[in-house]
Amino acid sequence: MARPGCTCGSASTAATSAVATPHRSDTPRPTSASRPTRSCAVSSPASPGDGVSSTSSSASVTSVTSPAPISLVLASASPARKKLLHAAGIDPSVVVSGVDEAAVLDAARTTYGELAAEDIALLLARAKAEDVAAQIDHAVIVGCDSVLELDGEVHGKPASAAEAVARWQRMRGTAGVLHTGHWVVDTRDSDLGGTGATLGATASTTVHFARLTDAEIEAYVASGEPLRVAGAFTLDGLGGPYVSAIEGDPSNVVGLSLPLLRELLGELGLLWHQLRASGIPT
C-alpha cells in the first residue's frame, strides 16, 4: 500500500541530493468577490494670472493598487524556526496548531502500516499547517515538524531527563538523520494572487555527534534544552559544541530548511524577495 507521503504527492529530499519538485494541489479555495476600485475627489489648481481664487471641480480618479502584503503564518511554537525566518528577512505571525500528534500518527498507521521517518515528519507538518489554515484566511501558512532517525528508530522530544540521557549515550560518536517535514497552504483570495494550493516536502540532513563523556551528557541534559527539541539536541544553541559535523542543509537541522521553503513558495508563484518587500523588516 502506498505510503502517506506518496498519497499526498509530496517529495522527500536527501541532504546531498537536489530538492525534488513538490506536488501542488490545484483545488482552489473559495474566494471573495473582487474589491471595488476606490475613487477620490481632487481640486483643480488656480490658473496662473487669474488673480482670483479658482473654483474647485470634482473628478473621479482611479487609484493605483499596490501589491497586497503577503501574510506568512508559521504554524509552530518553535522559537528557533521563527528566529531562522526573521534572520532571512521574514517576520511571520505565529499561530500554534491544536493537533493531537499521536492521534494523527495512529490513524495513519491504521491506514498505511508502519511509517518511515520522513513520512512521520511530513504527516505532522501537514496536519499542523492545515489545522491553522482552517482558522485563517488571506495568508500563506507554513507547518513544520522534525524527527531524528537513529539506527532505524524515530525519535522526537524526549519525555524525561532519564530518556534524554539514555538517548545521548546511544547518539555519542554516531550519526543520525534529522528529517524536517514542510507543508504550505495558500488561503489567499484568487484576486489577490492566491492559488488555493496545499503542498509539501521533507528535507533530510545527516548529523554526526561528538563522543561526549557521561559528565557532559548529564550537564547538557540538566540544562533542560534536550527536553524541548526533537532529537534532544540543537545546532544553534547549547548543543552546538556536541555536533561534530553535518551533511546537508544546516537550517534544516535548526528546524526549517530555508532552501526547501523557498522552492515550495516558488510553487505558489512567490519569490523570497517579495516576502521581504511586503513591509517585512530585515
Structure confidence by residue, pLDDT tens digits, 143-172: 999 999 999 999 999 999 999 999 999 999
pLDDT band per the 50, 70, 90 thresholds, residue 24: very low
219: containing domain: 4-28+68-275
Residue-wise pLDDT for 209-233, tens only, equals 999 999 999 999 999 999 999 999 9
Asked whether 10 and 23 are in contact (CB, 8 A), the reply is: yes
pLDDT band per the 50, 70, 90 thresholds, residue 71: confident
**Model pLDDT, residue 194:** 86
Tell me, yes or no, if the pTM score tops 0.95.
no
CATH number of the domain residue 204 falls in = 3.90.950.10
Q: What are phi and psi of 21, to 5 degrees?
A: -70, 120
User: What mean pLDDT comes out for the span 82-111?
Assistant: 94
Query: Would you tell me how many other CB atoms lie within 10 Å of the CB of residue 226?
Result: 26
Residue 179: inside a domain: yes
186-206 burial: b if 16+ Cβ within 10 Å, else e: bbbbeebebbbbbbbbbbbbb
The number of folded domains in the chain is: 1
- Residues near 133 by Cβ (< 8 Å), separated by ≥ 6? 75, 141, 185, 187, 198
User: What mean pLDDT comes out for the span 183-210?
Assistant: 93
> Does residue 63 carry a pLDDT above 90?
no
> Does residue 53 carry a pLDDT above 90?
no
Q: What is the spatial distance between Cα 164 and Cα 166, in angstroms, rounded to a whole number?
A: 5
> Does residue 66 carry a pLDDT above 60?
no
Asked whether 175 and 208 are in contact (CB, 8 A), the reply is: yes
Instruction: Indicate the angle between helix axes 101-112 and 117-133, nearest 10 degrees.
Output: 120
Q: What is the spatial distance between Cα 13 and Cα 19, in angstroms, rounded to a whole number?
A: 5
**Model pLDDT, residue 275:** 86
> Does residue 60 carry a pLDDT above 90?
no
Stronger pLDDT, 125 or 65, i.e. the higher one: 125
**Model pLDDT, residue 51:** 35
pLDDT band per the 50, 70, 90 thresholds, residue 184: very high
Residue 262: inside a domain: yes
Q: Which of 131, 145, 189, 249 is catalytic?
A: 145
**Model pLDDT, residue 67:** 54
pLDDT band per the 50, 70, 90 thresholds, residue 274: confident
Virtual CA dihedral for 130, 135, 139, 142, nearest 10 degrees? Answer: -30
**Model pLDDT, residue 76:** 92
Residue 53: inside a domain: no
Cell numbers for 264: 515550495
Active site residue 145: yes
**Model pLDDT, residue 192:** 80
**Model pLDDT, residue 30:** 30
User: What mean pLDDT comes out for the span 178-191?
Assistant: 94
Q: What is the spatial distance between Cα 102 and Cα 125, in angstroms, rounded to a whole number?
A: 13
Stronger pLDDT, 212 or 1, i.e. the higher one: 212
Residue 223: inside a domain: yes
Residue 41: inside a domain: no
Pairing of strands 72-74, 93-94: parallel
Stronger pLDDT, 30 or 69, i.e. the higher one: 69
**Model pLDDT, residue 193:** 83
Q: What is the spatial distance between Cα 243 and Cα 191, in angstroms, rounded to a whole number?
A: 47
List the one residue out of 263, 271, 220 whose CA is nearest residue 241: 220
List the one residue out of 252, 251, 225 whose CA is nearest residue 239: 225
Residue-wise pLDDT for 240-272, tens only, equals 999 999 999 999 999 999 999 999 999 999 999
